[in-house]
Amino acid sequence: MKVVIAGSSGLIGTALVAALRRDGHDVVRLVRRPIAARDEFTWHPARAELDTRALRGADAVVNLCGAGLGQRRWTGSFKQELRDSRITPTDVLSGAAAAAAVPVLVNASGVHYYGGGTGDRVVDETTPPGTGFLATLCRDWEAATEPARAAGVRTILLRSGVVLSQHGGMMSMLRPLYRLGLGARLGNGRQYTPWISLEDEVGAIVFALTNDTLDGPVNAVGPAPVTNAEFNHALGRALGRRTPLIVPAVALRTVIGEFADEAILRGPRAIPTALERAGYPFRHPTIGSALAALMEPGAR
């Protein structure tokens, strides 16, 4: 396949590019900086500019664009940046995919779509959107793919949980703390922490590119949901450290602000119904196996 990727320099994008190339696929990367390689094409989504040669003959487009949710405190301007970094590129790519008659679009989204008020109730791709900033963001982000869907492009809305990797993302922050014995339960620990290994995140994307039975929302999460307390215990066990500490909810709200309530102290008990029905073979079906794999030398 010829696969065009936006957001190829991030944690997921870097791993996806490598996986596709290992499998013999042709990868084209959309970049906003000056071109530095033969497989790159420029685009400027804020100006709705995209070199249409990039999509010529493309079999799929993968959009992974979006500023990191927790990279700084949520001010009004940063929340607007979170929206602009997702919705604007999606709108541009969706329109371009429609115009070029690209067969499939895989567009990033998040399990925050379901909101944080679902408690112990299991949610899957049929669950309606929740409330709050992140739920609204994900809903509007997904709605920006409508031009592609209306044109007949098979459109995957990849609602991802926390992606676990040895070399980036949340684990790069947690691992040093846990090694120092500073791992802790967050709040009461009963909230769910939707997770997926990087290997399965990439595997799910590649699977979606070639599996015509997948269309619409797809939860990219591990099949065995865990609470924050269970995640905390599993990570401590994987690193051989005790985890008796507790970070009170009030402390998280004071230090982190709104992000704490939206994404840390609440989380949906999401399951990957669409992937399982389509027959996707999870490499890491439990949090224990996912974390154990990350502790292996050279693991990603």
pLDDT band of residue 168 (cuts 50, 70, 90) is confident
pLDDT band of residue 299 (cuts 50, 70, 90) is very low
The pLDDT of residue 253 = 94
Per-residue CA distances from 282 to 80, 214, 277, 285 (Å): 35, 16, 12, 6
Angle at CA 215, nearest 5°, toward 195 and 280? 50
Q: pTM value?
A: 0.95
185-210 per-position pLDDT tens digit: 999 999 999 999 999 999 999 999 99
Place of tokens 């696929």: 25
CB distance 159 to 217 below 8 Å: yes
62-92 per-position pLDDT tens digit: 999 999 998 899 999 999 999 999 999 999 9
Q: Among the listed ranges 35-44, 164-173, 256-265, which one has the minimum average pLDDT value?
A: 164-173
Per-residue CA distances from 185 to 121, 226, 243 (Å): 21, 13, 8
Task: Quote the CA–CA distance of 33 and 211 in Å, as a whole number.
Answer: 33
Length of the chain: 300
Q: Which regions of the chain does DSSP assign to beta strands (E)?
A: 2-6, 26-31, 40-44, 49-50, 60-63, 104-110, 122-123, 154-160, 162-164, 184-186, 195-197, 216-220, 245-247, 269-270
CA-based nearest residue to 68, from 162, 143, 144: 162
**In the chain, % of residues over pLDDT 70:** 99
205-235 per-position pLDDT tens digit: 999 999 999 999 999 999 999 999 999 999 9
Beta bridge partners of 106: 62, 156
Q: State the DSSP code for 9.
A: T
The pLDDT of residue 297 = 62
| Tokens linked to 199 | 């290997």
The pLDDT of residue 171 = 87
Q: How high does pLDDT run on average in the chain?
A: 95
The pLDDT of residue 238 = 94
CB distance 209 to 1 below 8 Å: yes
